[in-house]
Chains A and B, each alone.
Chain A
Amino acid sequence: MHRVEVRLKNHLPDARGAGLVKDIRDLGIETVSDVRVIDIYWLDAELSSDKLDLICRGLLADPVIQDYRSDSAIPADADSSSNRRVVEVTYNPGVMDPVEGTVMKAVRDLGIDNVRAVKTAKRYLIEGDLDNGQLDSICGKLLVNPIVEHIVGPDTIPFSEHPQYHFRLNHYNIIDTDGSGLAEVRRDFSFSEPELKAIIDYFREQGRNPTDVELETLFQTWSEHCVHKTFKGKVSFSGAGIDNLLESSLAKIGQVVQWEGLWVKIDNLLKNTIAKATAELNKPWCLSVFMDNAGVIEFDEKWALCFKVETHNHPSAVEPYGGAATGIGGVVRDPLGTGLGSKPILNTDVFCFAPPDLPHEKLPKGVLHPRRIFKGVRAGVADYGNRLGIPTLNGAVLFDERYLANPLVYCGTLGLMPSELSRRGQQQAGDLVVVVGGRTGRDGIHGVTFASEQLTEESSTLSFTSVQIGNPIVEKKVIDVLLQARDKGLYRRITDCGGGGLSSAVGEMAADTGVRVDLEKVPLKYAGLTYSEIWVSESQERMLIAVPPDCIDGIMRLFDSENVEAAVIGEFTDDHRLRLFYHGELVGDLSMEFLHEGIPQMNLEAVWQPSQHTEPDFASPDDLGRDLMKVLATWNVCSKEWVIRQYDHEVQGGSVLKPLVGKDCDGPGDAAIIRPVLDSDRSVIVSNGINPKYGEIDPYWMAASAIDEALRQIIAVGGDLDRVALLDNFCWGDTRRPEMLGALVRATQACHDMALVYGTPFISGKDSLNNEFEYEGNVITIPHTLLISAIGVMADANRAVSMDLKQVGDLIYMVGETWNELGGSAYLATHDLVGNSVPKVDAPRSKVLMDNLSTATVKGLVRACHDCSDGGLGVAVAEMAFAGGLGANVKLEQVPLGESIDRDDFVLFSESNSRFVVEVAPENREEFENTMGDTAWAVIGEVTGSGVLEVYGLDDRKIVNESLTDLKEAWQSPIRW
């Protein structure tokens, strides 16, 4: 074995180390003056000094900036010094650093074939006076995450033999009347009692006991994550509003029954709300909805768009970097595995964290600090997404204390594919089962069940096999080569290996045919995996395809030509059975019917009662400038430039409207626009809407507001509602509690109602339930969180509009009515209040308003447009003003009101939906107003060149007079890390 150390030359600044110095300061430790990071490589080989030197000089070290030393040249007391601490960190056994494989490849390129393995580590030299407690703090909070890493000494031998696996078939004894194995089943799997009963009945009928891999298969396939059993359950809903059946849509989505009060029985929530709206709208441009890995709509005559958003919450809570990276890696495989495969062209990411300024002492045991989670998640998503060459053009970051132990990480991917390949494929008996891409390790075993369960203080120790680092380049190679195979017609069907691993992917793909799989043929990362582990492993970067026998040679040659690993692991049959073999021994045999239809439908109770929150009792401040700054500086409203800049939003060359816009390219754009086909002007608009704060008052209006917000952004950038598709992503608490499920029913009901009126179908969705954390006997539940993601097709990118004010003397319009709707607002939050007047949506009127505004944009009458969301008119106009670098005067008395409001602060910060601030050139005034027709609009001010935002109150008194520099600074400074 050889050990190589590569370090920057002493006189050069260490950028990685400088970042750590900053992070250490954030921990409140001021004494660290410098950190240097040394890269360690261990090579498992016996190399001559010439060859070792060739590897060091020619590969591992850059002689211009780095020094290296190896083996005996490293002194025993290397790097020790009185004022310096040395910490060396490496990945745990089984956690693969992608660099190790790359070094192996590059060493082979050098003509050296006898290196058996490579292992990496980082050595940190920390300069400064530190006591042991401080050092522990730095290690624990910054350098080491025990889930994936550990500290090693200089004499460590990092290579360990993986034990061989000796085959033994395991059964659980559950069919005997004594049921002696039942306790073991309950210990190893968390089936519900009805599920367990169905399983016992099935195996009694078969006259035999189940094997472990059969129970694993059922456990994965029947998990909430895979089968969405809550959304498909039978729900009995009761509570406030139910007696108002005629006015609500409840009677449309369920059956009304009288039993100790009024109840609405909903048989399959998904089918009767979200999917129902899609079915009723029946848009001809919806090509594939709710049936494949992603939803598909028509883009133009030739191309289709495919869109999916997923969550990767639980893994990100315990290992933010790896959890989030594999989140993006996973969602990218969804469009790739939809139809016959689409090319990923855009990523969108929405994160919810606890506030980053949370004092460390308030942190529950086993929970990572929100700042560390934020930084890790950001880095994981960026490193993976950037490496795949997919632009991240859209997203949001939200904060609430209740996300402390359950951060939410939504990752979404848009794909592009030829329309004729947008339908899910169909394999035939005799087609081969081929797994492509990454090798299988003990990664993420029981990841889906982990995802569906509550986190506890022990999660971080129990879940160590659930997290992996991810290797984006393997995934990139898989994408490159599969798209070529698709165009050559070399496979008949494709899906991704995600939650539940091969178990779910093969099981689902073969549902309507049958399959036999030889588990020993799955390529492994290392020896020692049991047949069952191979089957349920969630190792990343794997896709599954069905290949006709006469195409197998061609496709394997293609894979080989770009060094992509693939293996034939079985064959599709026509016996409607799932049969698993390990070296010829039958280890699992289930009927497809039982596997996919055997799960008993859940019976769930849901209730909803509104809660009452304290209303504000303070007077409207005379000077609202300070309040405006305060709102701009809240975690939720403030600039996210620090995150956005670290994503590549330009790769693929399609971006038309970027996430950061305006004079200095730092204003907050509303929605992103990309041109997926470079020589066409047809474009896609991508937006999102999310506002968990409203859900505390009423999840119905939260969902309605999220949809309105996503659509507003599409309108604001110049789109229209003609071809807009939505995705729903619910992150919720434990829906086994009736009030939690009641809130979910309210939200899905709104999705149904809004989609119908706006004419915007849902095409796919996802849910992550059970986002709760048990801590010292208390349960922290996340706020009800619904992310609505929207894509809109835009006929001509040249009519796009950005939000920055552009021309002195232009008129500023307020479009849409302002109501006394401060409930859940950013403004009330600065007073630690929630309130009750949640923003509502008058969808029929809003639709007319949005249509008219679209027409005005197409006519070229709109110079700038920004939607009013968090922080209302005040934040919208401030952002437009500083993004444009000009100035603005605004009069609140001109603002069109829906009801009487007598407070300046409420008019300025109301978060009423369906509102826009629009800049119009004076010469277009008449035409713009004619186009807007009898919807609510008014001129509320004009663009100035003063560099100041002036707002006049209802009595025409100046209530805001702030320089744009100050406003922008307030908005930018919170996350300038």
Chain B
Amino acid sequence: MSQVRVLILRAPGTNCDMETVFAFEQAGAMATRVHINQLVRGDECLSDYQILVVPGGFTYGDDISAGRVLANEVRMGLGEDVPRFIEEGGLVLGICNGFQVLVKAGILSVNSGSIPLTLTDNDSGRFECRWVHLAANSASPCVFTKGIDRMSLPVAHAEGKVVFDGAVPEANIALRYADEQGNCGAGYPYNPNGSMADIAGLCDDTGRVFALMPHPERFVRGTQHPQWTRRSIGEHGDGLRIFQNAVRWAEAL
């Protein structure tokens, strides 16, 4: 079986690409950083990979709104490449800014796109960096969160509030903000941005396109946890599971 290939998409302002490569390497994949221009100009081909990742950062400075300009570029520059990639079974992961890009490019949609959905300014009106507790939804088809019950991960964003019209089906809500016991509805700062329905991560109807505001790549080793000096955390961080799930799924392709 050949090694799973992961494309870590880079654009001006991407800044979590290196640690995302590291996380996928820890999970056994081969991850390559590819600039958006390389895809647009045809120097690299999406179909050579099994997993596409839009990592965290401030692409184009979050100008206009976070993720908007890269989303536009992906939509206009890559055209049908991404939908075809998903159609053919590829996995797509968006982290933080990647979540914003995937939603605004229409790549991550809910209920066949019938629910208008976006991400906007945190209720606090501020960029905030803090660790949050997350509860995964076992009823979700999400490939990435399979077998995960609860996690701790850091968030670091200014525009992470998920808002939508209508109702997002339960199955699409792969990850929710929660309190220490895993209960949702705990309010700020447990829900750090005021996201509707405590949504921290969403998947599309297939479960193969997943995006989240927290940063799993920042917690793949135990010593990345803020309390590893207080209590035993273990060698691996909670975030590693997300990458392992993706790689295992792709290996089985």
Residues of chain A whose beta carbon lies under 8 Å from any beta carbon of chain B = 12-13, 15-16, 18-19, 58-60, 62-65, 98-99, 102-103, 105-106, 109-111, 382, 386-389, 471-473, 476-477, 480, 561-563, 644-658, 660-663, 665, 675, 678-679, 797-798, 800-802, 804, 806
B81: Cβ under 8 A from any A Cβ? no
Is residue B120 contacting chain A, with contact meaning CB distance below 8 A?
yes
**A801 contacts which chain B residues (CB < 8 A)?**
229
Binds A, one of B45-53, B71-79, B85-93: B71-79
Chain A CB within 8 A of B123 CB: yes
In the bound assembly, the distance between CA atoms of A655 and B62 in angstroms comes to: 24
Chain B nearest CB, measured from A478 CB (Å) = 10
- Bound Cα distance from A64 to B166, whole angstroms: 11
Total cross-chain contacts (CB, 8 A): 170
Residues of A within 8 A of B64 (CB): 59-60, 99, 102-103, 106
User: Judging by beta carbons under 8 Å apart, are A64 and B60 in contact?
Assistant: no
Sample (28) of A-B pairs whose CB atoms are under 8 Å apart: A12-B163, A13-B123, A65-B118, A102-B61, A102-B64, A106-B73, A109-B72, A110-B76, A382-B127, A387-B61, A389-B14, A472-B58, A473-B13, A473-B60, A473-B61, A476-B15, A563-B12, A646-B129, A648-B127, A651-B156, A651-B218, A653-B217, A653-B220, A653-B224, A665-B130, A665-B131, A678-B22, A797-B223
Q: Which residue in A62, A110, A652 is a CB contact (below 8 Å) of B120?
A: A62
Contacts of B69 in A (CB 8 A): 59, 102, 105-106, 109
A652 x B18 contact (CB < 8 A): yes
Mask for B27-40, Cβ within 8 A of A = 1, else 0?
00000000101100
Docked CA distance A499–B83 (Å): 49
| B121 surroundings in chain A (CB, below 8 A) | 15-16
Would A386 and B120 be within 8 Å (CB), given that A59-B64, A65-B163, A651-B156 are in contact?
Answer: no
Alpha-carbon distance A103/B72, docked complex (angstroms): 11
Contact B76 A111 (CB under 8 A): yes
- Given A653-B22, A656-B224, answer yes or no on A806-B56 (Cβ-Cβ < 8 Å): no
Nearest 5 Cβ contacts at the A-B interface: A389-B15, A653-B19, A15-B125, A102-B63, A802-B229
Which residues of B in the span 137-175 have a Cβ within 8 Å of any Cβ on A?
154, 156, 163-165
- Bound-state CA distance A658–B125 (Å) is 23
Known A59-B68, A561-B37; judge A645-B130 contact (CB<8 A): yes
- Point out the residues of chain B lying under 8 angstroms from A63, CB to CB: 116
Query: A388 contacts which of B15, B120, B165, B224 (Cβ < 8 Å)?
Result: B15
Q: How far is the CA of A563 from the CA of B62 in the complex (A)?
A: 18
On chain B, the residues within 8 Å of A651 by CB distance are 15-16, 19, 56, 156, 218
Q: Pick the residue among B58, B73, B128 that contacts A387 (CB under 8 A).
A: B58
A62 and B68 within 8 A (CB):
yes
Query: Is B218 a contact partner of A653 (Cβ separation < 8 A)?
Result: yes
- Let me know if B122 is at the binding interface, CB within 8 A: yes
Contacting residues, chain B, for A62 (C-beta < 8 A)? 65, 68, 104, 118, 120
- Bound together, the chains give a CA A647 to CA B121 distance in angstroms of 16
Closest to B193 in A: A15
Chain B contact patch, size range: 35 or more
Interchain CB contact under 8 A, B35 and A562: yes
Bound complex: CA of A60 vs CA of B64, how far in Å? 6
Distance in angstroms between the alpha carbons of A99 and B128 in the assembled complex: 22
| B124 located at the interface, meaning its Cβ lies under 8 Å from any Cβ of chain A in the complex | yes
Which chain A residue has the least Cβ–Cβ distance from B154? A650
Assembled-state Cα–Cα distance A568/B76 (Å): 33
- The listed residue with most B CB atoms (<10 A of its CB), out of A12, A653, A806, is A653
Any chain A CB within 8 A of the CB of B84?
A: no
With CB as the reference atom, state the residue of chain B lying closest to A106.
B69
* A13-B123, A650-B154 known; A109 vs B118 contact (CB < 8 Å): no
* A64-B116 contact given A650-B215, A797-B223, A800-B229, CB 8 Å threshold: yes
Q: Which of B37, B58, B230 contacts A563 (CB 8 A)?
A: B37
Q: A64-B165, A110-B76, A473-B58 are in contact. List 8 more A-B contacts (CB 8 A).
A: A65-B118, A102-B63, A106-B64, A387-B15, A389-B16, A561-B37, A563-B12, A646-B126
Question: B197 contacts the other chain (Cβ, under 8 Å)?
Answer: no
- Supposing A562-B37, A655-B224 touch, asked if A103 and B63 sit within 8 A by C-beta, the answer is yes
Say how far B26's CB is from chain A's closest CB, in angstroms.
Answer: 8
State whether A657 touches B229 (Cβ < 8 A). yes
Per the bound structure, the CA–CA distance linking A12 and B120 in Å amounts to: 11
- Find out whether the CB atom of A562 lies under 8 angstroms from the CB atom of B76: no
Instruction: Indicate if B117 sits at the interface (CB-CB under 8 A).
Output: yes
**Chain A residues closer than 8 Å to B94, beta-carbon distance:** none
Q: Are A650 and B218 in contact (CB under 8 A)?
A: yes
- Of B16, B127, B165, which is within 8 A of A646 by CB? B127
How many whole Å from B210's CB to the nearest CB in chain A? 20
Q: Please determine whether A105 and B118 come into contact, CB atoms closer than 8 angstroms.
A: no
Separation of A653 and B128 alpha carbons in the complex (Å): 16
With contact pairs A15-B125, A19-B125 given, residues A471 and B15 touching in the complex (Cβ less than 8 Å): no
Instruction: Judge whether B12 and A652 touch: CB under 8 Å.
Output: no
A109 touches B76 (CB 8 A): yes
Chain A residues lying within 8 Å of B65, measured Cβ to Cβ, are 62
